[in-house]
Amino acid sequence: MSLNILVLGNGGREHAIVWKLAQSRSVSKIYVAPGNGGTATMSNVVNIPELTPVPANFEKLQQFAVSHDIDLVVPGPEQPLIDGVATVFQKVGIPVFGPSAKAAIMEGSKSFSKEFMRRHNIPTATYQSFDNYQTAKDYVLGLEKNEPDYKFVIKADGLAAGKGVVIPSSHEEAVETLHKIMVDKQFGDAGDSVIIEEFLEGDEVSLLTISDGYSYFSLPPAQDHKRIGENDTGLNTGGMGAYAPAPIATPRLLRDIESNIIKATIDGLRKDGLPFVGVLFTGIMVTKGGEAKVLEYNVRFGDPETQSVLTLLDDATDFAQVMLAAAEHRLDSVNIGIRKNAFATTVVLAAGGYPESYEKGNEIKIDASILPKDSYIFQAGTAFDKAKNTLFTSGGRVIAATAVAETLEQSVQKAYIAVESITFKDSYYRKDIAHRAFKQQDINGKSITYADSGVSVDNGNLLIQKIKNKVKSTRRSGTDSDIGGFGGIFDLEAAGYKTSETLLVGATDGVGTKLLIAQETNIHDTVGIDLVAMNVNDLVVQGAEPLFFLDYFATGSLDTQIATDFISGVADGCIESGCALIGGETSEMPGMYGPGHYDTNGTAVGAVLKNNILPKIENMQAGDVLLGLASNGIHSNGYSLVRRIIKHVDLSWEDKCPWEESITVGQATLVPTKIYVKQLLPSIKEKLLLGLAHITGGGLVENIPRALPEQLQAQIDMTTWEVPPVFKWLSKAGNVPDEDILRTFNMGIGMVLIIKKQNVARVKELLREAKETVYEIGHLAAKQHAKEPGCIVQNVENWINRN
């Protein structure tokens, strides 16, 4: 097969791509539009300097491709891809190694890519999007007031020539930056909206992944050097050097990145109707805790990472066939191999003054005789004067030297020897490429700290400071709800209880798989309320008033914002139930939980007078009335089934909710469990109740019998209340048998009261004063024989069809 290939672009990345393509036996000729001085002097390579890849030239490029029998087009830069160049050639039947404009929005809009990551549960920094300057300004000023130590980054939403990311040193600078981007239009339309996201600290890794929309292959992880000055100082640039593979990307970390980031991204794009073809550049931050989080996506090869990673492909890899196979959605039909025991280092030489003003037109000389073996020169900002047979500078990043060796140290040494072969006026290059890798290697000679193992004591302390005021708002008589010590103290007498007449009641519970939905939707406060509700509702059914609560939050890497949101929800639940949040434990355990995941547990303690303990089964008899209090929805049980049904009907958490169209599926399923404490305590204090049943896992049929004597049976009539739409939808969507759904969900009744007939009116009056929705749902009856169930539900067959 003899291929004619058209490459779009004129940088060092494009020179490296053309260099690798030219090694393919299946390639006949390569055209480069517009090309540079490096591609101008290659055999079987032709520059087309008049056809820069801008929209005004797309039709001409298409005509050129047709007239020159082009078999494959390879766009280098991102802008033509975002402008839709792939479709231009595909319309005339020419394969393109590059994504569609719709998929290229992953680089074209940071807001889109961040929302994509949130939707597909891909680890990234927490963020907020803004398309209004005043709203963004108010958010920053709110951070200054409430979270002054919170470090953040401001990013222009669109492409800004690599200059749209600002790390403000103060809130004043942040406001000025927002004004420049959103009002003054420093970056034009790219600044119509901005992202304000958490500042991540750690080491960056670049991963280039070749994809056909289904299959994919990741090239060795690289690390580049953006700053102009040594030790990563000075202004940002397009990149002053790179090396690969980066030692920080250990095999274990790469496995995590592969499953949690790369696969999730490729699969997510396909599921969203945006199958990704080409090379996906994923910029990743490896945090100090060892967690990989996505910084950004690019939809093309990186520069200068490409110059390093392409030199690591083995001799058996036909790069042209790899690109063609990806473009034709059959990447798994070709072999891609990486050189064994090989490292590559690239050092970029820039024009003096770059990245600010610099001269062009200075002559470049290259002494090939002193180039070490396995070293290469890739040109970027160069132009070749054929008449004078002379190479000149024409850009800021002018040229790069790349070298391959068996160790990273050797490849760095060889690359700097290769640099010495290049001379031009006022050339500048960094002399510390790969310095971070060498510092990492030195760690073996240092003491290992707790932070090195992935545990941040500082983050734990920061969390305490962020939640202290919220926790203090839960204080009540008996305690001050002050946290940060070794435990909490509660004074029973100060709360109005005489210790000789009082019993303490404890309850402990978790939230279950509802937590997975919180983690997948990035909504964490409501499950904090759930945690409290599951515990305090179990106290009140014993006649106890909840007094205090303690929570446990465990994660692999502490994200203080997630933990703050969660504990804020816990505090809200405590306020609603009248108990104090007097302490808790936040446990950071690297390796125990995956990125973004956490688990939680809570313990509540309440008090009850000895003669008020529930249930009073000795006083129950046939004819006693059952009242039901309305639930908020699913509450906290049955979520394994809920998640399976949602997946079965192919809904995402961001989709419009089919049973409540004003909100999303995620928001609807995360409505917190209802807390029944304050509305029930008056009836308990007046001794009007015989018993209570909290309707959790097991539904009505299994929870009510727990409060009954063996000889009695609860008889429930489902026509006495309106079953909420969520349960009707789940039943139909999952085709769930009635028996299963009754044993899984609360069906709209979250708490059942057992009372004497003569007390019904008073109990209803007290509940309605508390604005509680109450139904008379059944009664107690004597069992005919011992094996009869403790609860039967009547009129089940017609419940789903009721309006």
pLDDT band at 563 (very low <50, low <70, confident <90, very high): confident
In a 13 Å sphere around the CA of 345, the CA atoms on its Cβ side amount to 24
The neighbouring-strand residues paired with 696 are none
Nearest CA to 378 out of 20, 799, 743 is that of 20
Cα separation, 58 vs 66, whole angstroms: 12
pTM above the 0.75 mark?
A: no
Whose structure tokens read 């009850």? 608
CATH number at residue 689: 3.90.650.10
Using a pLDDT cut of 90, give the percent of the chain over it: 78
Last residue of a domain, one of 178, 199, 220: 199
Nearest CA to 560 out of 111, 112, 152, 142 is that of 152
Please indicate, yes or no, whether residues 681 and 601 belong to a single structural domain of this protein.
no
Residue 6, pLDDT above cutoff 60: yes
Last residue of a domain, one of 199, 228, 263: 199
Mean pLDDT of 488-516: 90
Is the C-alpha dihedral spanning 7, 10, 14, 15 positive or negative?
Answer: positive
Structure tokens at 508: 């402990």
pLDDT band at 415 (very low <50, low <70, confident <90, very high): very high
Cα separation, 39 vs 595, whole angstroms: 44
DSSP label at residue 631: P
Mean pLDDT of 272-287: 96
Q: What is the pLDDT of residues 392-413, one digit of tens each?
A: 999 999 999 999 999 999 999 9
Phi, psi at 210, each rounded to 5°: -85, 130
The answer to whether the beta carbons of residues 742 and 701 sit under 8 Å apart is yes
- CA 314 to the chain's CA centroid: 35
Q: Which amino acid is located at 783 in the chain?
A: K
Least reliable range by pLDDT among 454-463, 668-677, 759-768: 454-463
In a domain, 427, yes or no: no
Please indicate, yes or no, whether residues 629 and 579 belong to a single structural domain of this protein.
no
Q: What is the pLDDT of residues 336-395, one digit of tens each?
A: 999 999 999 999 999 999 999 999 999 999 999 989 999 999 999 999 999 999 999 999
Please indicate, yes or no, whether residues 660 and 541 belong to a single structural domain of this protein.
no
Please indicate, yes or no, whether residues 649 and 714 belong to a single structural domain of this protein.
yes
Least reliable range by pLDDT among 223-237, 372-386, 755-769: 223-237
Helix ranges restricted to H, 522-638: 525-540, 560-577
Give pLDDT, residue 499.
86
Last residue of a domain, one of 569, 591, 613: 613
Is omega for the bond preceding 709 within 30 degrees of 0, making it cis? no
Residue 485, pLDDT above cutoff 60: no
Please indicate, yes or no, whether residues 581 and 700 belong to a single structural domain of this protein.
no
Give pLDDT, residue 149.
87
Q: Which amino acid is located at 402 in the chain?
A: T
Phi, psi at 313, each rounded to 5°: -70, 140
* Of 466 and 455, more confident: 466
Q: Which amino acid is located at 136 in the chain?
A: A
Counting the structural domains of the chain, the total is 3
Q: What is the pLDDT of residues 307-338, one digit of tens each?
A: 999 999 999 999 999 999 999 999 999 999 99
Please indicate, yes or no, whether residues 138 and 168 belong to a single structural domain of this protein.
yes
The neighbouring-strand residues paired with 781 are 713
Helix (H, G, I), strand (E, B) or coil at 772: coil
How confident is the prediction for the chain on average, in pLDDT?
91
In a domain, 186, yes or no: yes
Mention every residue, 6+ apart, whose C-beta is less than 8 A from residue 739.
none
- CA 626 to the chain's CA centroid: 46
Mention every residue, 6+ apart, whose C-beta is less than 8 A from residue 785.
none
Whose structure tokens read 């108010």? 138
Q: What is the pLDDT of residues 141-199, one digit of tens each?
A: 999 888 888 899 999 999 887 778 888 989 999 999 999 999 999 999 989 999 999 99
Say how many C-beta atoms besides its own lie within 10 A of residue 659's C-beta: 16
The answer to whether the beta carbons of residues 147 and 465 sit under 8 Å apart is no
Cα separation, 779 vs 770, whole angstroms: 24
The answer to whether the beta carbons of residues 4 and 44 sit under 8 Å apart is no
Cα separation, 8 vs 98, whole angstroms: 11
Give pLDDT, residue 445.
47
pLDDT band at 484 (very low <50, low <70, confident <90, very high): low
The domain in which residue 168 lies consists of 126-199
Is omega for the bond preceding 304 within 30 degrees of 0, making it cis? yes
In a domain, 71, yes or no: no
Please indicate, yes or no, whether residues 677 and 693 belong to a single structural domain of this protein.
yes
Whose structure tokens read 């308990």? 684
Cα separation, 118 vs 664, whole angstroms: 14
Cα separation, 404 vs 481, whole angstroms: 61
Structure tokens at 246: 């980066």
Cα separation, 584 vs 573, whole angstroms: 15
Helix ranges restricted to H, 420-456: 435-441
Residue 556, pLDDT above cutoff 60: yes
Please indicate, yes or no, whether residues 651 and 541 belong to a single structural domain of this protein.
no
Task: Encode 725-759: b = buried (16+ Cβ within 10 Å), e = exposed.
Answer: ebbbbbbeebebeeeebbebbbbbbbbbbbbbeeb
In a domain, 429, yes or no: no
Cα separation, 803 vs 674, whole angstroms: 24
Cα separation, 749 vs 634, whole angstroms: 10
Structure tokens at 642: 């809920």
Helix ranges restricted to H, 312-454: 319-327, 408-419, 435-441
Cα–Cα separations (whole angstroms), residue 62 to 70, 73, 77, 554, 724: 10, 10, 17, 57, 58
In a domain, 402, yes or no: no
Q: Which amino acid is located at 278 in the chain?
A: G
DSSP label at residue 182: I
In a domain, 223, yes or no: no
In a domain, 337, yes or no: no
Please indicate, yes or no, whether residues 570 and 638 belong to a single structural domain of this protein.
no
pLDDT band at 259 (very low <50, low <70, confident <90, very high): very high
Cα separation, 51 vs 38, whole angstroms: 17
Q: What is the pLDDT of residues 422-442, one digit of tens each?
A: 999 999 999 999 998 887 665
Express the helix, strand and coil content of the chain in percent, nearest 5 each. Answer: 35, 25, 40
User: Could you tell me the end-to-end alpha-carbon distance of the chain, in angstroms, rounded to an integer?
Assistant: 67
pLDDT band at 466 (very low <50, low <70, confident <90, very high): low
Nearest CA to 84 out of 186, 155, 8, 197 is that of 8
Mention every residue, 6+ apart, whose C-beta is less than 8 A from residue 33.
6, 7, 8, 9, 47, 48, 51, 52, 53, 61, 64
Please indicate, yes or no, whether residues 601 and 627 belong to a single structural domain of this protein.
no
Whose structure tokens read 């020897």? 417
Give pLDDT, residue 254.
94
The answer to whether the beta carbons of residues 20 and 39 sit under 8 Å apart is no
The answer to whether the beta carbons of residues 735 and 728 sit under 8 Å apart is no
Cα separation, 1 vs 765, whole angstroms: 87
Q: Which amino acid is located at 612 in the chain?
A: N
Residue 450, pLDDT above cutoff 50: no
- CA 118 to the chain's CA centroid: 5
| Cβ-based burial of 709 (10 A; exposed 0-12, middle 13-18, buried ≥19) | middle
- CA 551 to the chain's CA centroid: 25
Q: Which amino acid is located at 724 in the chain?
A: P
Helix ranges restricted to H, 362-497: 408-419, 435-441, 457-472
CATH number at residue 595: 3.30.1330.10
In a domain, 459, yes or no: yes
pLDDT band at 801 (very low <50, low <70, confident <90, very high): low
Phi, psi at 683, each rounded to 5°: -70, -35
For the chain, what is the largest distance between any 2 Cα atoms, rounded to a whole number of angstroms?
110
Residue 590, pLDDT above cutoff 90: no
Is omega for the bond preceding 34 within 30 degrees of 0, making it cis? yes
Is the C-alpha dihedral spanning 606, 610, 614, 615 positive or negative?
Answer: positive
Whose structure tokens read 């080409």? 278
| Cβ-based burial of 483 (10 A; exposed 0-12, middle 13-18, buried ≥19) | middle
Please indicate, yes or no, whether residues 606 and 632 belong to a single structural domain of this protein.
no
Cα separation, 406 vs 419, whole angstroms: 19
Please indicate, yes or no, whether residues 481 and 575 belong to a single structural domain of this protein.
yes
CATH number at residue 153: 3.30.1490.20
Give pLDDT, residue 463.
56
The neighbouring-strand residues paired with 96 are 73
